[in-house]
Amino acid sequence: MKKLLFIPLLLLLACHPIKTAAVSLDAQFKETVSIENKLTNWVSKQSDTCLKQAQAIKKTDSARALPYYQDCIKNPFELATIAANLIESIRLTTKANAQLILDVCNKKKPVSALGDIDKTTIDSLSKLEIILLEIN
């Protein structure tokens, strides 16, 4: 009877690093999606505001409307481009890390390989959070 309890306990202990890595990866993914949604909404609102202001200018001076809009939307689009590059980087890293976790689960790689999980995602998320603070 003790052997029957010991085997599942060993399996749980062996799975602990895998579960920890998977939960961490999932949390990073969810945070990335949340930040991406907030940034998308902000850029959309900025574009709408700039467009309304440009339309108001167009009523009095149509030649100034387009340059005004381009200048007004410049900063939001620059921030959106930086954020999009960071998000793309995070997604690629997350995909590679998920593959590593699957390889460990499928015993193609040892559990010690989980130490190789790329930490750049945390740095990229920090940069995204700074952008989010900048817009708020």
Q: Would residue 107 be called left, alpha or beta, if left means φ above 0 and alpha means ψ between -120 and 50 degrees? A: left
Q: Answer whether residue 126 is part of any domain.
A: yes
Q: Answer whether residue 14 is part of any domain.
A: no
Question: What is the DSSP secondary structure assignment for residue 114, as one 8-state letter?
Answer: G
What is the residue type of 131?
I
pTM score: 0.76
Q: Answer whether residue 8 is part of any domain.
A: no
- Show the domain range for 85: 28-135
pLDDT computed for residue 118 by the predictor: 67
pLDDT tens-digit map of 87-134: 999 999 888 888 888 888 888 888 888 776 767 788 888 888 888 888
Q: Answer whether residue 120 is part of any domain.
A: yes
In angstroms, the Cα distances linking 73 to 25, 30, 69 are 34, 28, 6
Number of domains composing the chain: 1
Q: Answer whether residue 66 is part of any domain.
A: yes
pLDDT at 78 over 50: yes
pLDDT band at 82 (very low <50, low <70, confident <90, very high): very high
